[in-house]
Chain A
Amino acid sequence: AQSVTQPDIHITVSEGASLELRCNYSYGATPYLFWYVQSPGQGLQLLLKYFSGDTLVQGIKGFEAEFKRSQSSFNLRKPSVHWSDAAEYFCAVGAGYSTLTFGKGTMLLVSP
């Protein structure tokens, strides 16, 4: 069965600083990987996805993620964080068109 680990429960970043959120997955075949963001009281919004091809994927709001098969990782990055990026971020792995397995989430706090 697939699993996702997000080792950081909380991360605090200064506004304007760079960000990296870690995600490690466990899945037997080629995974389909996703990052979602959840603002308080809101649903989950897709930031980016990886299905195949270029291992560096670009998403919305200036986010990018890199798939590293050798490390079973799919870390999310942003070069300069804005206060509006404060939210909870979820990494997920999907078995193709099937269901998603989510990590526990990382809460991002942005300090002025």
Chain B
Amino acid sequence: DSGVTQTPKHLITATGQRVTLRCSPRSGDLSVYWYQQSLDQGLQFLIQYYNGEERAKGNILERFSAQQFPDLHSELNLSSLELGDSALYFCASSPKMGQPTEAFFGQGTRLTVV
């Protein structure tokens, strides 16, 4: 158990809908990362938050957004969903910035868009 909790584990929704994925980082970790894993693209970095502020952006679509709350949990919002958004979405967390450290991954949320 990495200590990173993601909910829900599975989500099935229709095209055009909006969903919210939730992540609770390890206790004490200030950084949260979101990754998307799909068969064709592999593991792609989406976005990083550190202590409530956006720090880095990767290949995140404009239809997707995220935020990190004062209690450090994070939410990834996916809207106007398309079939191609079906993927496994991972959240990871790591301690404070400024030193090399590994990221600890949650079990992921499997999103299926039908």
Contact = CB atoms under 8 A, between A and B. Distances in A.
Interface residues of B, number: 26
B54 to A, nearest CB: 12
Interface residues of A, number: 22
B12 interface: no
Please indicate which of the listed interface residues B4, B35, B103 has the most CB atoms of chain A within 10 Å of its own CB.
B103
A13 B92 CA distance: 31
Contacts of B107: 42-43
Helix, strand, loop or mixed for chain A's interface? strand
B64 interface: no
Interface string B94-114: 100111111111111000000
17 contacts: A32-B100, A42-B107, A43-B4, A43-B105, A43-B108, A44-B105, A45-B2, A46-B104, A94-B100, A94-B103, A96-B99, A97-B98, A98-B48, A99-B33, A100-B45, A100-B103, A102-B42
